Amino acid sequence: MTTNVAIWLILRLVSGFSSGIVFVLSSSIVLESLKAAKRPHWSGIFYGGVGLGIFLCGLVIPVFNRTLGWKGSWICLGIISALVSIVSFLWTKDTELNKQFVRPKKPASNHKGQKEPIFKWLLFSYGCEGIGYIITGTFIVAIVQGIPQLKDYASLSWAFVGLAAIPSCLIWALIAKKYGHIITLYVAYIIQIIGVILPVFTQSAIGVFLGAFLFGGTFMGITTLIVSKGQSLSFQNTNKSIGYLTAAFGAGQIIGPVVAGVLTSHSNTYNEALIFASAILVLGLIFLFIGDLNQKIVVS
């Protein structure tokens, strides 16, 4: 309806704020309900919805753009979102469990009565994930468009991200059930780092789309694992722990594109931005390791 930059910034702010609220509340409701039903690993199905949305967008947006232009694409996406949201309005009902967010009487604590020491490192790690994820998520289509032989298949890269993300959350949740959240997070971070850095070393179709697939197969999985782990650690109210984690993730999403934009303008390529994203993800992996180590020391 408008191309005024100031209005766009306001709309983006409103969109980010509202999506953050939806993420925190919906995650809290679903995680609490699954925990009560003794099916916590089913959270992967819930978070897989994000992957499904990305995959469908990767398929329909090129069609909308060709037939209706970018303005028509936004209108169609708005209509689709409104129609899909009817399901939530009609069938999502409050229960006593959801209203009270029942938690154990005593929050998890170490022998000194303090909050679990790993939680703050989980926050730092998730903030790094926010930076590393958003850089690739923001620029992946532009990166593919910048490769002459792949220019016509740029939107396909986003479809690859979504396709990998759909089952990834459930798969990672099942792996975490067997091997634990922290070990599973180590593996997910390493795979994501490979996916992010891969386009720097090869611009072949296989390399680029494999990178997109590895990225898509891990970023929502990491969200599933960290949120599930975080909500079980420190607070009686699930909203509070997920809120802190989401804030850290959101801060990363603000910082990432700004730094990436500066690096891209300086070099006229996306390589420096991808290297920066990979380095930040390595830092997130280190934070996770420190938190795990501190936790083991406290327990011992």
Instruction: Tell whether the model's pLDDT for residue 64 goes beyond 50.
Output: yes
Phi/psi of residue 69, each to 5°? Answer: 80, 175
Parent domain of 10: 5-88+117-299
Residue 104 — pLDDT band, cuts 50, 70, 90? Answer: very low
Residue 190 — pLDDT band, cuts 50, 70, 90? Answer: very high
Largest CA distance in the chain: 64
Flag whether 105 is in a domain. no
CATH of the domain at 267: 1.20.1250.20
Flag whether 97 is in a domain. no
Q: What is the mean pLDDT of the chain?
A: 84
Q: What is the pLDDT of residues 248-257, one digit of tens each?
A: 988 898 899 8
What's the confidence (pLDDT) of residue 109? 47
Flag whether 108 is in a domain. no
Dihedral, 70, 252, 193, 139 alpha carbons, nearest 10: 20
Flag whether 102 is in a domain. no
What's the confidence (pLDDT) of residue 187? 96
Task: Give the number of domains in the chain.
Answer: 1
What's the confidence (pLDDT) of residue 30? 83
Instruction: Tell whether the model's pLDDT for residue 101 goes beyond 70.
Output: no
Flag whether 29 is in a domain. yes
Flag whether 191 is in a domain. yes
Flag whether 111 is in a domain. no
Flag whether 96 is in a domain. no
More confident residue, 144 or 113: 144
pTM over 0.85: no
